[in-house]
Structure 1
Amino acid sequence: MVYVRKNVSKLTRTERRRFIEALLEIKRRGVYDEFVRLHIAHFIGDGSRGLRAAHMAPSFLPWHRMFLLDLEEALRRVDDSVTVPYWDWTKDRKATALPWTDDLLGGNGRPGDRRVMTGPFAHATGNWTIRANVTAGDFLTRDLGRSRSPLDLPTKADLRQALDDPVYDVAPWNSTVTKGFRNRLEGWSRGRDPWRNHNRVHRWVGGSMLGGASVNDPVFWLHHAFVDMQWSRWQQRHRNHRYLPDKPPAQGSDQYRRIVARHERMPPWDMTPDDLEDVSQIYRYA
């Protein structure tokens, strides 16, 4: 049966509570920290040799689609009514608005150490100790809007610029490309404004959402559900265009064995980007 991912602003009080309770339960069981470790392990950038599956590469979108599906499966083993909601950061743009309420994700970090003090994921509750990290610290941190150097969330126009590009991705298939839907959405750019769309949201939230351990902040999932929704929208808008590259870069290419082509296995799963292009029989967005 196809299930529905809703806008977080449309969740009922009961749906909010059940989503939070399921997250806390998989954290208690140690399952959640395994998702953090997996993301850290696959946080590989352009400067590293070897395969890039999760970031700065065409498979950014299918990789995180599968990552979301695995998290959702873990949550639904606890409560089969739960799905991952999405946060539309083009509409809910204030640090005091959803999802930053006490009954959902809690609010901003306090001045100084940026420690989150409110909501179900505050360290003081005893339910959300950070165990898998790339830096020291066992509490969740946030710096919504970036206090020292203020930053705005992406706009509808920023998102539209990505959605209007009919080509999925282009060579050299990394963070330097200036064309193609994938990087326009992932958000690597150069110059005075180096972060757009997806990347800019990570920077706006700040704190734990920076770097490979960003999964430690549960907003990661709401953010990536909205990013995944944009891929679905792009697919509907550009029906004659698909994931690229269709074939792996040739031997001798700088990207040889460094990216995942459409029909290649996408680690750590035995899945290909092609397998994940159509999820209409699994879930849909409301």
Structure 2
Amino acid sequence: MKTVYTLFILLGLVMDVEAQSIRKNYQEMTDYERTELVNAFYDIRNGADLFDDMANFHMEFFNFDNTADPTRLDLHFNLPDEPQREIFLPWHRRQMFELEQAVQDINPRISLAWWDTSIDQSTTSPLWNQNFMGSFNTNWSLNRNLGGNGPLPVPSDVSNLYGMSNFNTFSNELERRAVHRGAHVWTGGAMPTPLSPRDPVFFLHHTFVDFIWFNWEEIYNSSSFLRSSMLRYDGTYSFNGETLPLVNPNSITDTRSLGVFYGANGLANLNNYIVSNTYRPQEVFYYQFLIRVGNNFIVPSGTDCSIESVNEILMVPGFEATSGSRFLASIDVANQSNRPGIKTRINNPYKHVENLQEIVWEEDNKDDSPVLLQAFPNPFTEKITIKLNKNTDCSVEVFNMMGGLIRQEVFQNTDTIIINKLYGLAAGFYVIRVVDAKGDIIIAKRVVKL
């Protein structure tokens, strides 16, 4: 049974229970929440299979910096030199939200959770129990190799990110270094490949990445993007008969725009939020520990909101449920113990993908090959300067959009390559390749002529 803590019902209609989110470390989830999250993942996979759709999309648009088609947009590794293409953090935030909505269609009280890879690093962690993330490895043929491919981050890797006040620097370091990279390579299987969303732990990992961005934005409030839409979320992509909405990445720099909050260390602060029922006819916020509600948390007339804790809810100044709203705050004394338990978990292995390559990260560059540091300006008008991390003998080739070679120059023992007299080129996209003395392509870079 439930004991009502605080109750306001004013002129409101009773609606179907739906939900918004208080995300938390999976270790703060109740046993019921963990079970229901896993049950929902199996239901999603056995239905229209959003996991497979997301994985295939992720692979198709992963990264095209080394392709002959510079017009294609992509998801990864656009910083530091192509901020006009950057969508890594908001794209994955919206991806987490899409899966979370599918979970809440099944059980409205369940939110995504995160795996803190900087401290939770054991191969025998509860994360990998057969009743949680462990069962997917066999049932979905994920072929994980926990701990076999590289280290996880340490706490200082996370704290150092919070000292970076420039957003592009923060985002680039987060994406390319251990905090993001570590879980992918450490987990193995699908995770270090472009099909990584096949593994449900991908979503716990990226919820942690999103939590770090949430914390950074709370400090600096300065995330910004040059694009006004994102791949998949551009108003043209359909899944299971539904066209996904157009999403401007700048509209979701604050998770509150999605009704998403983060709880940590036994406390969830619900503040600076106006209930709108944009995504759900009733917004339900559920957390095992203390929920503190106030500081401009508003439930306007005509909206419906429920806040539910296993332990404690604290209403503080700044909370308002206006006349005509429906608001319920309650303590879940039974801790959902009377709800259904573990469902039958059906084997549903993914189809094998031939010649699937693992992602190449900067840290994986084990040989002594030159690495691109910067190519500027991009877009360009008359010349381009390419900075390498070491002196090298090389040739530089410039290709047009049709793949035709239009320029070639040879450089010797230099780390700075300057390509002059480009003013005669037509406006558009070009690809610049740097080829070493052995004929190997060491850099391929997409550039834009104004």
Q: Same fold (TM over 0.5)?
A: yes
Determine the structure 2 residue equivalent to 1:44: 63
Equivalents in 2 of 1:50, 1:162: separation in Å? 31
Q: 1:51 to 1:237 in 2, by over 3 A?
A: farther
% same residue? 29
SS of 1:38's equivalent in the other structure is helix
SS of 2:212's equivalent in the other structure is helix
Determine the structure 2 residue equivalent to 1:16: 34
SS of 1:165's equivalent in the other structure is coil
* Superposition CA RMSD, Å: 1.6
Q: 1:11 to 1:82 in 2, by over 3 A?
A: same
Q: How does 1:215-230 map to 2 (within 5 A)?
A: 215-230=197-212
Q: How does 1:232-271 map to 2 (within 5 A)?
A: 232-239=214-221, 241-244=222-225, 261-262=226-227, 264-269=228-233, 270-271=246-247
Equivalents in 1 of 2:104, 2:20: separation in Å? 13
Contact 1:53 1:63 in 2 (8 A): no
Equivalents in 2 of 1:53, 1:230: separation in Å? 22
Determine the structure 1 residue equivalent to 2:187: 205
Normalization by structure 1: what TM-score? 0.73
1:168 Cα deviation from its structure 2 partner: 0.9
Q: 1:230 to 1:278 in 2, by over 3 A?
A: same
Give the structure with the larger strand fraction.
2
SS of 1:211's equivalent in the other structure is coil
Contact 1:39 1:212 in 2 (8 A): yes
SS of 1:234's equivalent in the other structure is helix
Determine the structure 2 residue equivalent to 1:157: 156
**Structure 1 runs of 4+ off > 4 angstroms?**
none
Determine the structure 2 residue equivalent to 1:143: 145
Equivalents in 1 of 2:232, 2:91: separation in Å? 9
Equivalents in 2 of 1:235, 1:215: separation in Å? 25
Equivalents in 1 of 2:45, 2:153: separation in Å? 30
1:168 lines up with 2:167 in the alignment? yes
Q: How does 1:175-194 map to 2 (within 5 A)?
A: 180-187=169-176
Output the amino acid matched with 2:35. R
Equivalents in 1 of 2:47, 2:154: separation in Å? 38
1:211 Cα deviation from its structure 2 partner: 1.4
How many residues of Structure 1 are paired with residues of Structure 2 in the alignment? 222
Deviations 1:211-255 (A, max 9, x none): 11011111000000000001111101113x2224xxxxxxxxxxx
1:94 Cα deviation from its structure 2 partner: 0.8
Normalization by structure 2: what TM-score? 0.47
Equivalents in 2 of 1:271, 1:82: separation in Å? 24
SS of 2:261's equivalent in the other structure is strand
Contact 2:118 2:179 in 1 (8 A): no
Unmatched tracts of structure 2, length 5 or more: 1-18, 79-85, 234-245, 264-450
1:142 Cα deviation from its structure 2 partner: 0.7
Match 2:117 to one of 77, 89, 94: 89
Give the structure with the larger helix fraction.
1
Deviations 1:34-62 (A, max 9, x none): 12222122212422323444211331000
Output the amino acid matched with 2:261. R
Q: 1:79 to 1:204 in 2, by over 3 A?
A: same
Unmatched tracts of structure 1, length 5 or more: 107-118, 129-138, 170-179, 188-194, 245-260
Determine the structure 1 residue equivalent to 2:353: none
